[in-house]
């Protein structure tokens, strides 16, 4: 991370891939058995992972909404869960996020099971009701 990246965090600006990758690196150190948490640029470029985990957690960039979301299949067999903190009018998952999940899972199938969780902090609670 650069000094500008740290300044962006402190001033509440949008997060970039360097910041997200640094956060994932810190999480990997704290939770070494957690699979996923790989470089976001690799997924954005639709490059395959070397090691496809059965269970994973990964932060991905939703290009259509210019927003980061967390995807994971750690908690429910056969379902990839998407955790999103940005309120949305439609409960749809973007093609960008679906493509990245397919890259993680090394599948080109037209469908796989997704569950969308809208995560909201107390200061924005009124938007999530």
Q: Would residue 67 count as lying in a domain? A: yes
Residue 7 lies in a domain: no
Mean pLDDT, range 3-20, rounded to an integer: 92
User: Which of left, alpha, beta for 50 (phi over 0: left; psi -120 to 50: alpha)?
Assistant: alpha
Residue 68 pLDDT level (bands cut at 50, 70, 90): very high
Sign, Cα dihedral of 80, 127, 122, 28? positive
Residue 15: inside a domain: no
Structural domain count, the chain:
1
Residue 119 lies in a domain: yes
The residue among 87 and 4 whose pLDDT is bigger is: 4
CA 88 to chain centre: 16
Domain that holds residue 70: 39-128
Among 38-47, 63-72, 94-103, whose mean pLDDT is lowest? 38-47
User: Do the domain assignments include residue 6?
Assistant: no
Supply the pTM of this predicted model: 0.78
Q: Is residue 114 part of a domain?
A: yes
Q: 67 forms bridges with which residues in the sheet?
A: 62
* Long-range CB contacts for residues 74-77, cutoff 8 Å, separation at least 24: 76/115
pLDDT at 92: 79
Q: Is residue 100 part of a domain?
A: yes
For residue range 101-121, list pLDDT tens digits in order. Answer: 888 877 655 567 888 887 765
Instruction: Give a yes or no: residue 109 inside a domain.
Output: yes
First to last CA, the chain: 36
């Amino acid at each position: 991370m650069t000094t500008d990246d740290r300044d962006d965090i402190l001033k509440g600006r949008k997060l970039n891939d360097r910041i997200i990758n640094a956060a994932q690196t810190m999480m990997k150190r704290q939770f070494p058995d957690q699979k996923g948490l790989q470089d976001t640029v690799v997924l954005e470029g639709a490059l395959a992972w070397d090691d496809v985990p059965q269970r994973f957690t990964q932060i991905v960039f939703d290009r259509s909404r210019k927003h980061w979301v967390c995807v994971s299949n750690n908690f429910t067999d056969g379902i990839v869960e998407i955790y999103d903190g940005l309120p949305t009018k439609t409960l749809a998952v973007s093609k960008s996020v679906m493509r990245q999940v397919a890259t993680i899972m090394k599948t080109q199938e037209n469908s796989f099971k997704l569950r969308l969780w809208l995560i909201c902090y107390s200061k924005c609670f009124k938007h999530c009701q």
